[in-house]
Structure 1
Amino acid sequence: MNAEPHGTRETVTYALTGARGGFARTLLAQTRLTADVQPAVLCDLDTEGVLALGTELGLPAEGPGSLTVVTDRAGLDAARAAGRTAVVADVALLAEASYDILVEATGNPAVGYRAARTALTGGRHVAMVSKEVDSVSGVELAALAARHGVVYTTATGDQPANLIQLFTWASGLGLDIVAIGKSSEYDLVYDPETGTVTQLDQTVHAPALGGLLKLADGPDGVRTTLAARAEAVTALKRSAAADYCEMAVVATSTGFTPDVEAMHYPVARTAELADVYALREHGGVVTRPGVVDVFSVLRLPEEASFAGGVFVVVRTHDSITWETLRQKGHVVSRDGRYACLYLPYHLMGVETPTTLRDAVLRGIPAGSPTPTQHAVLAGRATQDLTAGTVLTMGGHHHEVTGVAPVLLPVADAPTGTAPLYLAAHATLVRDVAAGALLTLDDVSGYDPDLLAAWTAGRAAYPATPVPTTPTP
């Protein structure tokens, strides 16, 4: 690792890929306020856009702290000497730059993997924001980091790191964790006055929700209510590839895996989570302990959002302790068997400086130091696909056209299953029927280095996973 790059040793310097993106903006805006965490190099194909972003954020036009476009090693050295932040278009130029930690936020599986690999082998830490990269190559990148004595970590502020940290905290307390997860990107906001429900910028009539705001009683009451709510909002698309990808990353650090490949996605109110994620024998949706899942928040307009936050559901064991906590406002199931602990936020790059400090100054990752490929983020064709089809990826949530994301425990993924973000941008070499899982034999044109990383990480999966929570 380069000694004291771009500042003193008390200053953590970072390189940022995907510097024109939404996450990047939140990090750059925040590190304007953190004198000890500062950008050294910003990388994006749109260098003029990065300069414009700097102007929007109020960065100085000249002198220390200003941005300057550079195209070679000499430009990098000059920028560093002047205390300026270099802006580069070519990701390969990062190998020549001086910085402590790479924040990888391109969202591009192949480009992000190579950028991370180059940083790690060059003795620099990596904070991985690109969950698409992590879902395919994260296990191998963590192993590579260990071999080079540096840190590979998820980034606090994104749900994977926040959930992994909440899980680690709860595990350290000895709590008996049954399920973990996050809320989906956007709440379902029900307006009783109009009988409508709004998700982001889409509003639909859902008058039936008015009679479904409370969970029904009885042994099947929770599941009956959830089924009716799902039917009431069927016009809304509630799942996203990003959700599956994030939970795939969480699985590598926690060992928790999906209950069903499409995940449950219950429409639930925050106060209901301990009832919803109880075991089925106790009226909930979970068939076994050790489940990772996503839910859609149902709330009224005046109620606070879950804000894409994260949760753990635990067994209570001592009823008196948890009844005391219920009285203090904590979420405990109606029968007292389960409780939900949650963080109703994720602040993107606003939180990330904590990860950068921990990695560089303390050698601590925001997740497991030895992640394992416990789950496979795969793709199932949603329609008949013909040979020659290019599996395009796009949109805010990086959906793959014609393919639905599914999350499988690794033991349930057939040999040769293609990870979704390896198959993205590849070309089908044969027809794939609707409902079929994509396999490596179905596609060509994927990145060979990314395949090698996936194969290495997949091969390291243990025959018998190590239990991650206490047994009751």
Structure 2
Amino acid sequence: MIYHHLFEQLSRQERVTVAVIGAGQYATAVVSQSPFTPRLDVLAVADINLGNAVNAYKSAGFTDDEYVYVATRSEAQAALSAGTRIVTDQCDIIADLDGIDVVCEGTGIPEASARYARDAIANGKHVAMVTKDTDVTVGPELKALAREKGVVYTPVDGDQHGLLIQLVEWAKQIGLTVISAGKATDGEFVYDVENSTVSILTEKKIHAPAVETVTVSEEDRKWLRKVPEGESLTYLRERARILDGLPKPGAYDLCEMTIAANYLGFAPQVDELLHMPLRITEIPVAYALQENGGVFERESTIDLATCFRTEDEAGLGGGVWIVVRADNAYSNHIMTTKGQIANADGTATVIYRPYHLCGVETSTSLLLAGLLGMDTGTDDYRPHFDLVKVAARDIAAGEVFGNDHSPQLTARIVPATSIASGGPAAAHLLTGNVATRDIAAGTVITYDLVSRPAASVLWQLREDQDTRFGVSQNLDTELLQSRA
């Protein structure tokens, strides 16, 4: 890494001051790591639950006399001017505080997040977006607004989509062709060979009808051996059948892949993603092009993998991966003979990062924004795709739509369309809003099925984004319904 050279030679200022909005698990790690991060000061933490804001500072080792509660902008400004950190449950006061360079937005609430980000940008502050619900819905518009204002809007190191974007850009920078790219789901499928079971290893709650463990029949054990060259599609189908009872990827997984696709210009092969359970050594075999024995029809495909392994095998740790090749024969020889894991004919090699450190490593995005005026995404962030939702069960009129962790809805990635009655609704325009009528299980949620909230910043930004990027209502909704 050359960050120290960049910061020493090119920095516009000596230090970066940060305000965190939303002190959940992710943002608390940003705060707790900040005392150990050169050039970085978190001067304000805001959360509608004041206890969360206080606990974030306590986790960083700050004592009660090193921060003060404020309820108004004037109180906040006075405290900051006096050199005192602040905590508050009045999140709206953060956007126009003097002395704050970067707002790190991590509420996880798309409507509030959109307002805080818009206002911070309008007041000349950089925005580091942790709330992926907002980024996937209006991120391109917020990035465009930031560019017009001369500030940075950035994804964050530590989140999988942010790390994947950088891994792909690195590969392209050294001249590699990226065949496919994706992230590992947080849960791993652990194969107990002796007892012939596969169990999911995860911290997330398992919702029925999914189960934690499935038993594998003797005749099915052969499908859990290493995927042979040329049999990827068969093994994909058989493993999907055998492991069907285990939890599937969540909407939050597809959300991150949609953001990455929009930053990179990559595309999914199917709207629900193929999502194959794979050993690390199987990724370059299965996630290569079909002409080379893999499952993908074209290059620049985005997807998910759940790490499939035994207890004593290495895992992917919720990391990210790319499958690449070098288009020069000698370079490809180096790629496939110097320790990288390749398929049999050397047409695909996997490069992976078996971890993501969440808020612990987000400081690089914050520092690059504040010191150099740079983001850690790509320049061309466009709404190529939308995340949309499908009713997983019957939904009653007046019922509130849940977020990406709710078992009420499943998700798909489809070409982006504008807000229009009858069109598939962008997933997070649903969150917290109510169904206008009864909805049968299997129905794609369209704009006429959700009640638009009054004076919504999120919806307005989305309409502005549709106009800016020329997004039209061009999706075949009948096809969507037929696949539901």
TM-score by length of 1: 0.89
Gaps of 5+ in 1: 1-7, 465-472
1:68 corresponds to: 68
1:458 corresponds to: 466
Q: Which of these residues, 261, 269, 272, is aligned with residue 282 of structure 2?
A: 272
1:235 corresponds to: 245
The 5 Å alignment of 1:276-355 reads: 276-355=286-365
2:147 corresponds to: 146
SS of 2:151 mapped into structure 1: coil
Gaps of 5+ in 2: 1-11, 203-210, 473-484
Tell me whether 1:130 sits opposite 2:131 in the alignment.
yes
Q: Which of these residues, 435, 438, 445, is aligned with residue 445 of structure 2?
A: 438
Matched letter for residue 147 of structure 2: A
Structure 1 position 361, deviation (Å): 1.1
CA distance in 2, matches of 1:303, 1:218: 21
SS of 1:297 mapped into structure 2: strand
Tell me whether 1:38 sits opposite 2:41 in the alignment.
yes
Structure 1 position 272, deviation (Å): 1.3
CA distance in 2, matches of 1:72, 1:101: 19
2:15 corresponds to: 11
CA distance in 2, matches of 1:458, 1:376: 12
Matched letter for residue 217 of structure 1: P
Tell me whether 1:420 sits opposite 2:430 in the alignment.
no
CA distance in 1, matches of 2:59, 2:104: 21
SS of 2:157 mapped into structure 1: coil
Tell me whether 1:24 sits opposite 2:19 in the alignment.
no
2:79 corresponds to: 79
Residues 420-455 of structure 1: CA distance to partner in whole angstroms, max 9, x if unpaired?
A: 111111112133333332111211143632112112
Structure 1 position 90, deviation (Å): 1.2
1:185 corresponds to: 186
Q: CA RMSD in A?
A: 2.4
The 5 Å alignment of 1:405-416 reads: 405-410=411-416, 416=423
Residues 194-229 of structure 1: CA distance to partner in whole angstroms, max 9, x if unpaired?
A: 32223235741433575334334363x112222222
| Contact 1:257-1:409 at 8 Å conserved across structures | no
CA distance in 1, matches of 2:201, 2:84: 39
Q: Give the count of matched residue pairs.
A: 448
| Contact 2:398-2:435 at 8 Å conserved across structures | yes
| Contact 1:375-1:408 at 8 Å conserved across structures | yes
| Contact 2:191-2:199 at 8 Å conserved across structures | yes
Taking a change above 3 Å as real, the CA distance of residues 316 and 54 of structure 1, as seen in their structure-2 partners, is same
| Contact 2:53-2:88 at 8 Å conserved across structures | no
2:390 corresponds to: 380
Structure 1 position 386, deviation (Å): 3.4
| Contact 1:157-1:349 at 8 Å conserved across structures | yes
Structure 1 position 320, deviation (Å): 4.4
Structure 1 position 251, deviation (Å): 1.6
2:51 corresponds to: 48
CA distance in 2, matches of 1:389, 1:463: 29
CA distance in 1, matches of 2:157, 2:109: 20
CA distance in 1, matches of 2:228, 2:164: 30
CA distance in 2, matches of 1:280, 1:452: 42
2:118 corresponds to: 117
SS of 1:427 mapped into structure 2: coil
CA distance in 2, matches of 1:377, 1:463: 15
Structure 1 position 71, deviation (Å): 0.8
| Contact 2:320-2:352 at 8 Å conserved across structures | yes
1:5 corresponds to: none
Matched letter for residue 334 of structure 1: A
CA distance in 2, matches of 1:413, 1:143: 19
CA distance in 2, matches of 1:321, 1:206: 44
Matched letter for residue 371 of structure 2: L
Tell me whether 1:212 sits opposite 2:219 in the alignment.
no
| Contact 1:374-1:461 at 8 Å conserved across structures | no
CA distance in 2, matches of 1:406, 1:279: 23
Residues 306-345 of structure 1: CA distance to partner in whole angstroms, max 9, x if unpaired?
A: 1111122223434443343333220211122112222111
CA distance in 2, matches of 1:459, 1:336: 45
| Contact 1:215-1:225 at 8 Å conserved across structures | no
SS of 1:32 mapped into structure 2: helix
Taking a change above 3 Å as real, the CA distance of residues 132 and 83 of structure 1, as seen in their structure-2 partners, is same
Q: Mean Cα displacement is larger for which, 105-114 or 175-184?
A: 175-184
SS of 1:263 mapped into structure 2: coil
CA distance in 2, matches of 1:341, 1:249: 21
| Contact 1:184-1:238 at 8 Å conserved across structures | no
CA distance in 2, matches of 1:188, 1:288: 27
| Contact 1:103-1:126 at 8 Å conserved across structures | yes
Structure 1 position 403, deviation (Å): 1.9
Q: Which of these residues, 399, 403, 412, is aligned with residue 405 of structure 2?
A: 399
CA distance in 2, matches of 1:178, 1:260: 16
SS of 1:370 mapped into structure 2: coil
Taking a change above 3 Å as real, the CA distance of residues 317 and 73 of structure 1, as seen in their structure-2 partners, is closer
Structure 1 position 377, deviation (Å): 0.6
Residues 137-185 of structure 1: CA distance to partner in whole angstroms, max 9, x if unpaired?
A: 1011011101100000001110111111111111222222221111101
Taking a change above 3 Å as real, the CA distance of residues 218 and 370 of structure 1, as seen in their structure-2 partners, is closer
SS of 1:197 mapped into structure 2: strand
Matched letter for residue 455 of structure 1: E
Q: Mean Cα displacement is larger for which, 304-313 or 199-208?
A: 199-208
Residues 103-156 of structure 1: CA distance to partner in whole angstroms, max 9, x if unpaired?
A: 010010100000000000000000000000101110110111011000000011
SS of 1:42 mapped into structure 2: strand
Taking a change above 3 Å as real, the CA distance of residues 49 and 217 of structure 1, as seen in their structure-2 partners, is closer
| Contact 2:32-2:59 at 8 Å conserved across structures | no
SS of 2:181 mapped into structure 1: strand
CA distance in 2, matches of 1:97, 1:461: 31
| Contact 1:258-1:409 at 8 Å conserved across structures | no
2:373 corresponds to: 363
CA distance in 2, matches of 1:383, 1:84: 50
